[in-house]
């Protein structure tokens, strides 16, 4: 069935280091892959998304890569800062809805 | 623009009580969604409406009903609340029509506790 797996569930990095979060999906027909950031007590907010006709997309310190053959996509955050600390969710589009991963709690230590 | 507005922000119910969570969007979006968020389980889809006049079940629909009142409004009803429905509920909307290829915009959430 429809499934999105996300790893790791928690990630701790030192300020200035890079962070990588990985997701795999089950339906090869999926063609839209957004990433959301959720700060404590707040709503999820879109930070970047990628569509299946693109292999990589960058926006300042964040980038997403997509490997359709392997059915996985990743979020890369470079030069991490304390304000990057949050829960990050990946998602994959299925027919007319999104299926979300279970989230990664990123902690950036000064 | 307010985006997606949810009411109420907090609610405490007793087991067996009923209530309706309200959601409205002012972005002229076609699709609207209701999720619940529990610790360690991410966002799980309860119901969604891909266009005005249609609703469909998501991953966890049991114990809930929805109404797409018009293009702007999508409500979620708990007929007989149970402690297992204690959660944070998020409403979202999207421009997408019959294909999830557009971002979803979320409301601030409703924190619901059932005693």
Q: What is the pLDDT of residues A55-88, one digit of tens each?
A: 999 999 999 999 999 999 999 999 999 999 999 9
Q: What is the mean pLDDT of chain A?
A: 93
Specify the residue for token string 């970047």.
Answer: A48
How many Å lie between the alpha carbon of B77 and the closest alpha carbon of chain A? 20
Which tens digits make up the pLDDT trace of B66-85?
Answer: 999 899 999 999 999 999 99
d(C-alpha B33, C-alpha B104), whole Å: 9
Average pLDDT of B33-39?
A: 94
Q: What is the mean pLDDT of chain B?
A: 93
Nearest residue on chain A to B4, alpha-carbon basis: A43
Cross-chain Cβ contact A43/B108 below 8 Å? yes
Taking CB atoms and an 8 Å cutoff, what residues of chain A touch B109? Answer: 43
Cross-chain Cβ contact A43/B45 below 8 Å? no
How many Å lie between the alpha carbon of A103 and the closest alpha carbon of chain B? 6
Nearest residue on chain B to A39, alpha-carbon basis: B108
**Strands B64-68, A97-100: pairing kind:** unpaired
Is the model more confident about B68 or about B98?
B68
What is the predicted pLDDT for the residue at A94?
Answer: 77
Nearest residue on chain B to A101, alpha-carbon basis: B42
**Strands A72-77, A86-94: pairing kind:** unpaired
A44 touches B: beta carbon within 8 Å: yes
Taking CB atoms and an 8 Å cutoff, what residues of chain B touch A102? Answer: 40-42
pLDDT band at residue B10 using 50, 70 and 90 as cut-offs: very high
pLDDT band at residue B6 using 50, 70 and 90 as cut-offs: very high
Average pLDDT of B9-28?
A: 96
Give me the percent of chain B exceeding a pLDDT of 70.
96
Nearest residue on chain B to A89, alpha-carbon basis: B42
The yes-or-no verdict on residue B98 having pLDDT over 70 is no
Instruction: Determine the distance from the C-alpha atom of residue A36 to the mean position of all C-alpha atoms in its chain, rounded to a whole number.
Output: 7
| List of residues 6+ apart from A67 with CB closer than 8 A | A55, A73
Instruction: Pull the structure tokens for residue A73.
Output: 């996509």
B88 touches A: beta carbon within 8 Å: no
pLDDT band at residue A7 using 50, 70 and 90 as cut-offs: very high
């Amino acid at each position: 069935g429809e499934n999105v797996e996300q790893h790791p569930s928690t990630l701790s990095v030192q300020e200035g280091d890079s962070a990588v979060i990985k997701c795999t999906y089950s339906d090869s027909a999926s063609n839209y892959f957004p990433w959301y950031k959720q700060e404590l007590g707040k709503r999820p907010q879109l930070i970047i998304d990628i569509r299946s006709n693109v292999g990589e997309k960058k926006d300042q310190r964040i980038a997403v890569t997509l490997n359709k053959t392997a059915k996985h996509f990743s979020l890369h955050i470079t030069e991490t800062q304390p304000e990057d600390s949050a829960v990050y969710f990946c998602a994959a589009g299925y027919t007319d809805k999104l299926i979300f991963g279970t989230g990664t709690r990123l902690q950036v230590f000064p | 623009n307010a985006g997606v507005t949810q009411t109420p922000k907090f609610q405490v119910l007793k087991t067996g009580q009923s209530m309706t969570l309200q959601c409205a969007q002012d972005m002229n979006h076609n699709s609207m969604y209701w999720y619940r968020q529990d610790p360690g389980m991410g966002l799980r889809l309860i119901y969604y409406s891909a266009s005005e006049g249609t609703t469909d079940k998501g991953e966890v629909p049991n114990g809930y009903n929805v109404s797409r009142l018009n293009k702007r409004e999508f409500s979620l009803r708990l007929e007989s609340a149970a402690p297992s429905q204690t959660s944070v509920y998020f409403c979202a909307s999207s421009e997408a029509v019959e294909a999830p290829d557009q971002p979803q915009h979320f409301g601030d959430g409703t924190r619901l506790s059932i005693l």
